[in-house]
Amino acid sequence: MLNPIKIYDVVALLKDIPQKNLSKGQVGTAVEQLDDNVFEIEFVNTKGETLALEAVHTADLFLLHFELEKA
C-alpha cells in the first residue's frame, strides 16, 4: 500500500509517546522521511517553538486534511 503521508503533511499521533511528553492527538508536521514507513515529526507549541522531534511509524499517525477530498 502506498504511504499517503508526505513531507510537510500535518499529522496527529494515534498513541502516547511518554518519553517525549507527547500524547495521543498531539499535532505535528512531517519534516523528513527516514524510511518507507517512518517520518521525523516536529511537534511545536502555539508560539512555533519546537517541543519535540520524533521518529514515528506511519501506523501511529493520522493524516489531517484541510480541504475536502473524496472519501
Q: Is residue 32 part of a domain?
A: yes
Residue 1 lies in a domain: no
Number of domains in the chain: 1
CATH assignment at residue 42: 2.30.30
Q: What is the pLDDT of residue 70?
A: 74
Q: What is the mean pLDDT of the chain?
A: 93
Q: Is residue 58 part of a domain?
A: yes
Residues 13 and 26: beta-carbon distance below 8 Å: yes
The pTM of this model reads 0.88
Residues facing residue 29 across a β-bridge: 10, 42
Strand order in the sheet with 61-63: 50-57, 38-44, 27-35, 10-13, 61-63
For the chain, which ranges sit under pLDDT 70? 1-3, 71
Residue 69 lies in a domain: no
DSSP annotation string for the chain: ------TT-EEEESS-BGGGTB-TT-EEEEEEEEETTEEEEEEE-TTS-EEEEEEEEGGGEEE--SS----
Q: Find the domain containing 43 and state its range.
A: 10-63
Residue 40 lies in a domain: yes
